[in-house]
Amino acid sequence: MEENKERKLKLIWDFKGPGAERTAEHHALHLKEFIQTNNISLNITGFEPINEHHSIAFMVVNESQMPPVRDALKPHRGQLYQEEK
């Protein structure tokens, strides 16, 4: 019997400009701290360069945890999280 899996959402913060990658990397550290402090069940965070002047920081949350995290951290956008196989 398959367990009822909750959807996972990727919350995204965009950073632009010459220091975007370093800023996104630093922001990801704060997201890890938030996860530990607030006992978030998933521990998936990171940062990704999009191009030379655009990088993102992200964290993944279960859909039921999204509203309070969104309200506290104000991500710029979100999308369904696709787990890598």
Asked if the model's pLDDT at residue 3 lies above 60, the reply is no
The verdict on residue 85 lying in a domain is no
Residue 22 in any domain: the answer is: yes
Q: Provide the mean pLDDT of the chain.
A: 93
Structure tokens at 82: 């696709």
| pLDDT > 50? residue 2 | no
From start to end of the chain, where are the E strands? 8-16, 44-51, 54-62, 77-80
User: Which range marks the domain in which residue 68 is found?
Assistant: 8-80
**pTM, full prediction:** 0.90
Helix (H, G, I), strand (E, B) or coil at 73: helix
- On whether residue 52 sits in a domain, the answer given is yes
CATH number, domain with residue 12: 3.30.70
Query: Tokens 């655009």 sit at which residue?
Result: 54
> Does some domain include residue 49?
yes
Residue 2 is assigned to a structural domain of this protein: no
Domains in the chain, number: 1
